[in-house]
Structure 1
Amino acid sequence: MPELPEVEALALDLRGRLDGHAIAQVHVAAFSALKTFDPPVQALEGTLVDDVSRHGKFLDIEASGLHLVLHLARAGWVRWRDELPAGPPRPNSKSGLAVRVVLDDGSGLDVTEAGTKKSLAAYVVRSPHDVPGIASLGPDPLDDAFTRDTLANILEDAGRGQIKGVLRHQGTIAGIGNAYSDEILHTARMSPFKPANSLTAAELDGLFAAIKDELGDAVKRSSGLPASELKGEKKTNMAVHGRAGQTCPVCGDTVREVSFADTSLQYCPTCQTGGKPLADRRLSRLLK
Structure 2
Amino acid sequence: MPELPEVAALADFLDTRLRGSVLAKVQIVSFAVLKTADPPLSELEGRTVTGVRRHGKFVDLEAAGLHFVFHLARAGWVRFTESPTGTLLKMGSGHIAARLTFSSSSGPLGLDLTEAGTKKSLAVYLVRDPSGVPGIAALGPDPFSPGFDVDALAAILRSSTQQIKGVLRSQSVMAGIGNAYSDEILHAARTSPFATANSLDGPAVQRLYDAIHQILGAALAEARGKPPGELKDAKRSHMRVHGRAGEACPVCGDTVHEVSFADTALQYCPTCQTKGKILADRRTSRFLK
- Specify the code of the residue in structure 1 equivalent to 2:55: H
> Match for residue 168 of structure 2?
167
Asked if structure 2 preserves the Cα contact closer than 8 Å seen for 1:142 and 1:216, the reply is: no
Asked if structure 2 preserves the Cα contact closer than 8 Å seen for 1:258 and 1:280, the reply is: yes
Separation in 1 of the partners of 2:126 and 2:207?
A: 40
User: What displacement does 1:230 show?
Assistant: 0.3
User: Helix, strand or coil for the counterpart of 1:254?
Assistant: coil
Matched residues, percent identical?
59
User: What displacement does 1:115 show?
Assistant: 0.4
Separation in 1 of the partners of 2:112 and 2:172?
A: 29
Whether 1:103 and 2:102 are equivalent positions in the alignment is yes
User: Helix, strand or coil for the counterpart of 1:107?
Assistant: strand
Residues 62-114 of structure 1 deviation map (CA, whole Å, 9 limit, x = unaligned) = 00000000000000011101112213212245x21001010013321000001
Query: How do 1:19-168 residues align onto structure 2 when only pairs under 5 Å count?
Result: 19-93=19-93, 95-104=94-103, 105-158=107-160, 160-168=161-169
Separation in 2 of the partners of 1:241 and 1:42?
A: 42
Separation in 2 of the partners of 1:186 and 1:24?
A: 46
Separation in 1 of the partners of 2:223 and 2:144?
A: 15
> Match for residue 207 of structure 1?
208
Separation in 2 of the partners of 1:169 and 1:54?
A: 17
Separation in 1 of the partners of 2:16 and 2:231?
A: 16
> Match for residue 287 of structure 1?
288
| Number of aligned positions between the proteins | 286
User: What displacement does 1:287 show?
Assistant: 1.9
User: What displacement does 1:52 show?
Assistant: 0.3
TM-score by length of 1: 0.98
User: Helix, strand or coil for the counterpart of 2:108?
Assistant: coil
User: What displacement does 1:271 show?
Assistant: 0.6
Residues 209-236 of structure 1 deviation map (CA, whole Å, 9 limit, x = unaligned) = 0011111111111111111100000000
Residues 11-47 of structure 1 deviation map (CA, whole Å, 9 limit, x = unaligned) = 0100111021000000001110000010011111000
Separation in 2 of the partners of 1:200 and 1:157?
A: 13
Separation in 2 of the partners of 1:106 and 1:34?
A: 24
Separation in 1 of the partners of 2:206 and 2:95?
A: 43
> Match for residue 178 of structure 2?
177
> Match for residue 186 of structure 1?
187
Separation in 1 of the partners of 2:147 and 2:256?
A: 34
Separation in 2 of the partners of 1:218 and 1:35?
A: 31
Separation in 2 of the partners of 1:123 and 1:136?
A: 15
- Specify the code of the residue in structure 2 equivalent to 1:286: F
User: Helix, strand or coil for the counterpart of 2:159?
Assistant: helix
Separation in 2 of the partners of 1:236 and 1:38?
A: 41
